[in-house]
Chains A and B, each alone.
Chain A
Amino acid sequence: MPEQSIDLPQGMLDLLILRTLALGPKHGWAISERIHQVSSKVLQVQQGSLYPTLHRLERRGWIKAHWGASENNRRAKYYELTKSGRKQLEAEKSEWRKLAAAVAQVLETA
């Protein structure tokens, strides 16, 4: 439930969005829902950060957008991963793993 969710810091949002899109094009709401679901409802994406981040990622050329019809036949903007986006995803994934491992190590030994 929402009270138990953790708000995502902005820096990680890039990574999660890219990962989510790696599985196929989605519109903004779908991305937000997916992250929420897959994280066992722990991570809650704020709309206030989602859309600006999406636009920023679009500017950087890692995702690209097109308009289409949603499941309930509404006009929606879909995003998909580009080639450079895929490369960025791999890069950020390995960064993240290194970071997580380092933090864990510090926490263990301290």
Chain B
Amino acid sequence: MLSDLLIRLRALFRRNAVESELDVELRFHFHQQIEKYISSGLTREEAMRRARLEFGGLDQIKEECRDARGVQFLETLAQDVRYGLRMLRKSPGFTMVAVLTLALGIGANTSIFSVVNGVLLRPLPFPKQEQLMMLWEKDKDGLRSNTSWATYTDWNTENHSFTGIAAISFWSPTFISTNDAENLMGFRVSSNLFDVLGVKLEHGRGFLPPEDVRGNNFVVVLDHGFWQRRFSGDPKIVGKPIQLGSRAYTVVGVLPASFPSVLSFDPRKPADIYTPLAYDATLPYACRDCRHLRAIARLKDAVSLTQANGEMNQISENLFREYPKEYSAPGVTLTPLKDYLVGDVRLVLLVLLGSVGFVLLIACVNVANLLLAWAARRQREVAVRAALGAHRTRMIRQFLTESLLLSLLGGAFGLFLAWGGVALLQRLRVGNLPRLENVQIDTWTFAFTFGISVLTGVAFGLVPAFRASKLDLIEALNESAKGTAGRERQRLRNLLVVSDVALALLLLTGAGLMMKSFVRLLEVKPGFDPSKTLTLSLALWGPKAEDAHAVAFYQQVLQRVEALPGVESAGVVSQLPLGGNGDMYGIHVEGKSSPDPEEDPSADRYSISPGYLRAMRIPLLRGREFDERDGAGSPLVVLVNESLARKFWPLEDPVGKRLRVGDSKGPWRTVAGVVGDVLHAGLDAPHTLQVYLPQPQFTDTAVLLVARTSNDPASLAATVRSEIAVLDPQVPVSSVATMEEVVSASVANQRFSVLLFVLFGAIALLLAAFGIYGVISYGVAQRTHEIGIRIALGARRREVLRLIVGEAMRPALVGAVFGLGAAFGLTRLLAGLLYSVKPTDPTTFAVVFVLLVAVALLACYLPARRATRVDPVVALRYE
């Protein structure tokens, strides 16, 4: 009813006015009554006395009127909140620690889980994304392998499981704009890719089947980010031509911003541009065993993964029978697209999630502890209020409000921390996490974590209120907290210390192992000297992408670069070790190769200029390096690395021996020398076979320039760029980085994990230290009386100190031992992430144990020392 609502609102918001009105009204009645008695003959004093007696308790009437007004609940709530805030403000230490603890727990948990959710759990933004599969051929080792055009077309025509299969292949066009050239990362795709994925383009359209034909295929679709960056997000670019290499391509569409970097090989950079595959069977590289295509397929609605697997395997068997030479083994592998994308990071993220869960646990344990101590301190207040007639429910509501206030504050802070944490992770783009840009603070996680802390707060905040009803008021008012109630509470507090220490030890052990592993990783010698070396990539395109021109161009560039002041040596190479690329060729050694060329091992191939080895400081072990003699028409030579030499010629001199690179019927190349191994795939990767070829004899039209300088390599970048531009301004230069940066980037994933682990370990340690400190402080404060007696009776302060600390350390040590046991059992889960460190590495365990015990000792010692410093007279009087 409207009048009801209006009155309630008025009572709520114009409280003072309403109260004073009530006052006036009642006062009027009072006066009228007095007048009545006076006019009936009583004196003023008697009249007033009688009226007062009749009126009864004025305040009680007011109270009832307030009740009748119906806003009682909200008013008391407001009162409780105000009171609660005042209490919290009066103990700033307690409030700050509690709020901070909660905030850390909530914040850490929310941000990590948001990342886990965004990267691992959240489905890809395609319709019915669970139907999307990657289709791989199987090689003879059962491993996944790319497929070929011939196989792809057969798959397409014969399957009944998929609504469509799309094929993609890498493409690196050079984008020429008015004032610069840029190497793009792109894909050639079959015209049905966007349909298979279910992507709706933001502008324009995808590819049409007639465009997927050679000659008609000069059309492109742009990635959203590339479109923003290069064309300022102008929708009118659709329909216009752009220059890629030496041809003009027409832009037919722009992808939406939500199109994830699903297909790129660098999850941090989405592909910039797409063009039709435009294959047909007449092309030389459409051969059945030319495997450079990847296939993505969408399951039909009614078809399950097992059914599709069965059918495709059958088709594959048929093909294997029909073309035994082109297939080394039958069978296909179907991988859900999402798994393919995030598989690598799954372990890391899940372990992190576990860690963070522990941190939250510690936080809740600590807050519980704090609230218990808080409650005990307010015992007296509770007793007084009860004696004054406060209802039990009212007090419970009061404490509940306070706990909720704490939880709310902690939650608000935690949300802020979480938001900052995620933003930081995204800005740093740490750890090569795919889909990182899609991560947002997850409302469910936040609600869950927040809910847990509220529950903790509520549960332990209610303790004092409940105890109040069971209280012997007199005893409580005398505040003697000894006796069974005190002991039981002490046991609870000890339990909390045990769990704090155990959890902290667990987390710290994990962090310690990860750190040790990372340090070991960084100590690994890569086989070259990455200091003071600049690298950048340059690519030739169009008519200039021709071998002779390329070789001459590189020589000119190197001449200029070597002439620069400060440059010691320079060279070019087709791929950098630890650069993230892989270019492997089969090695067929004369007299030692197998009849089936597929059986021969593969090696990393590096095509280099003579100065490269010197620039990278890769040692020459035998024979000679390349020089001007090794030109295009000269005898073919090759350098092999130590591992290769050892494998094939363990007892002979490799120099002079012959091998074939790649083509098993190709030309023989003579070994001219042996160089040291370099690590290629990663610092933790095994040693691979490696061959070096002179650029003129095995030319690449895109290479990396490496320059060693005696000064700071980064400052050289601009100069080198301009030198290249002088020679040819249309050659795109990109991926400028020092070699140290390249090495560092190769361990970005590991660095990310370590960083987070150490962070959580530190938070856990801090929280545990606070927790212990709080508990011991409290326990010691309770025993001030007893300490006073001991000292007064002649005990030396040091003895008392030892007694207290000894007793206080007991739960801490128990916790440490528990933690040790738990760590022993659980760290084996980390085994996959550790390099050259056992999950039960004794040194780490020992160090962490000692560290934690030391911190616990300090946390016990400080309050104990404070207590023993107290004047015994004061202590004795302390109640």
Residues of A at the B interface (CB closer than 8 Å) are 27-29, 32-33, 46-48, 51-53, 55-56, 58-61, 64, 67, 70, 72, 74-77
Contacts and interface: CB of A to CB of B under 8 A. Distances in A.
Interface in B251-274: none
Task: Specify the main secondary structure of chain A where it touches its partner.
Answer: helix
Given A72-B35, A74-B31, A51 B7 contact: no
B61 A52 contact: yes
Contact of A29 (B7, B21, B24, B33): B33
Given A70-B28, A76-B28, A55 B69 contact: yes
Contacts of B67: 52
Contact of B4 (A27, A46, A60): A60
Nearest to B55: A47
B32 interface: yes
Task: Specify the main secondary structure of chain B where it touches its partner.
Answer: helix
A58 B69 CA distance: 9
B32 A29 contact: yes
Contacts of A77: 21, 24-25, 28
A76 B29 CA distance: 9
Interface string B28-50: 11011101100000000000000
B52 to A, nearest CB: 11
A59 B22 CA distance: 15
Contacts of B1: 60-61
B55 A58 contact: no
Contacts of A52: 61, 64-65, 67-68
Contacts of A32: 29
Contacts of B31: 74
Contacts of B69: 55, 59
Contact of B24 (A47, A60, A75): A75
Contacts of A60: 1, 3-4
A22 to B, nearest CB: 19
Contacts of A28: 25, 28-29
Contacts of A29: 28-29, 32-33
15 contacts: A27-B28, A47-B29, A47-B61, A48-B60, A51-B64, A52-B65, A52-B67, A59-B4, A59-B8, A60-B4, A64-B3, A74-B28, A74-B31, A76-B28, A77-B25
Contacts of B32: 29, 70
B70 to A, nearest CB: 6
Given A55-B69, A58-B3, A61-B3, 4 more contacts: A29-B28, A51-B29, A51-B61, A59-B68
Contacts of B7: 58-59
A61 B55 CA distance: 27
Interface in B792-842: none
Interface string B268-308: 00000000000000000000000000000000000000000
Contacts of A47: 26, 29, 54-56, 61
A36 to B, nearest CB: 10
Contacts of A58: 3, 7
A25 B266 CA distance: 84
A76 B25 contact: yes
A76 B21 CA distance: 9
B137 to A, nearest CB: 80
Contacts of A75: 24, 28
B660 to A, nearest CB: 100
Interface in B568-588: none
Interface of B: 1-4, 7-8, 21-22, 24-26, 28-29, 31-33, 35-36, 54-57, 60-61, 64-65, 67-70
> Which A-B residue pairs are the 8 nearest by beta carbons?
A61-B3, A52-B64, A29-B32, A55-B68, A56-B68, A52-B68, A29-B29, A77-B25
Nearest to B50: A2
Contact of B26 (A51, A53, A61, A67): A51
Nearest to B4: A59
Nearest to B8: A59
Contacts of A53: 68
A59 B28 CA distance: 21
A28 B65 CA distance: 13
Contacts of B64: 48, 51-52
Given A48-B60, A51-B61, A59 B29 contact: no
Contacts of A64: 3
Nearest to B24: A75
A29 B26 CA distance: 9
A78 to B, nearest CB: 10
Contacts of A67: 21
Nearest to A28: B29
Nearest to A47: B55
A51 B28 contact: no
A53 B25 CA distance: 14
Contacts of B70: 59
B3 A59 contact: yes
Nearest to B35: A72
A80 to B, nearest CB: 13
A60 B3 CA distance: 7
A68 B26 CA distance: 15
Nearest to A32: B29
Nearest to A27: B28
Contacts of B60: 48
A78 B466 CA distance: 47
Contacts of B21: 67, 77
A52 B62 CA distance: 8
Contacts of B57: 48
Given A29-B32, A61-B4, A51 B55 contact: no
Nearest to B56: A48
B35 A48 contact: no
Nearest to B57: A48
A77 B28 CA distance: 9
A41 to B, nearest CB: 13
B3 A51 contact: no
A51 B25 contact: yes
B27 to A, nearest CB: 9
B51 to A, nearest CB: 10
A97 B335 CA distance: 84
A67 B26 CA distance: 13
Contacts of B35: 72
B717 to A, nearest CB: 79
Nearest to A75: B24
A77 to B, nearest CB: 5
A75 B29 CA distance: 11
A92 B33 CA distance: 30
B33 to A, nearest CB: 7
A48 B1 CA distance: 26
A47 to B, nearest CB: 6
Nearest to A74: B28
Contacts of A33: 36
A37 to B, nearest CB: 11
A75 B22 CA distance: 12
A87 to B, nearest CB: 14
A64 B60 CA distance: 24
Contacts of B33: 29
A52 B64 CA distance: 6
Nearest to A76: B28
A52 B57 CA distance: 13
Contacts of A55: 65, 68-69
Nearest to A57: B68
A70 B21 CA distance: 15
B71 to A, nearest CB: 10
A53 B31 CA distance: 20
Contacts of B2: 61
Contacts of B36: 33
Nearest to B64: A52
